[in-house]
Amino acid sequence: MSDNAAQRSAAIASFNPYTMMEFYRPAVMAMTDLNEKFCSNVLSMNSEWANFVNRRLKQDVAFSEQLLGCKSIGEMYSLYADFMHGAFDAYHKEFSQMAQIGSEATNEVMHVLQHSMETGARTGKASAKSRH
């Protein structure tokens, strides 16, 4: 057997999948945590948006019904003004709420990344010490 073949054979024999798993564990755990936070935050945002759209549709239908009951142009303009003011206010509040949810999601992701980097650094140091 040549030296090159002997080296390959020794490398294969010394391969330990558990060492490799331990090496990648912090990254896998971080990705698992990030995935959980991401899915939770997307669900929260989708739920918030769906509830908002549902409320707006109900208000839009009610507005149409009220519009049909108008007796004068002045009454119609007043109704439109009130509706538009309420709609702008509702959209402003909703976008503020969505921004808050997004900000909280970003903070959660940053916390998970920071924790995983700290865990990875500790694991790397412990692994380096055990090799020496």
Q: Which helix (H) or strand (E) holds 3?
A: helix 3-14
Q: Which helix (H) or strand (E) holds 21?
A: helix 17-68
| Residue 50 neighbours by CB under 8 Å, 6+ apart | none
Query: Tell me, what amino acid is at 128?
Result: A
Query: Mean pLDDT, the chain, as a whole number?
Result: 85
pLDDT digits (tens, 9 = 90+) for 101-117: 999 999 988 888 888 77
Summarize pLDDT for 25-65 with one digit per residue, the tens: 888 888 888 899 889 999 999 999 999 999 999 999 999 99
Segment 92-100 shows an average pLDDT of 96
Q: Angle of helix 73-131 relative to helix 17-68, nearest 10 degrees?
A: 170
Instruction: State the pLDDT at residue 55.
Output: 97
What average pLDDT does range 107-129 have in this prediction? 73
Q: Give pTM, 2 decimals.
A: 0.67
**CA nearest to 96, candidates 106, 85, 108, 88:** 88
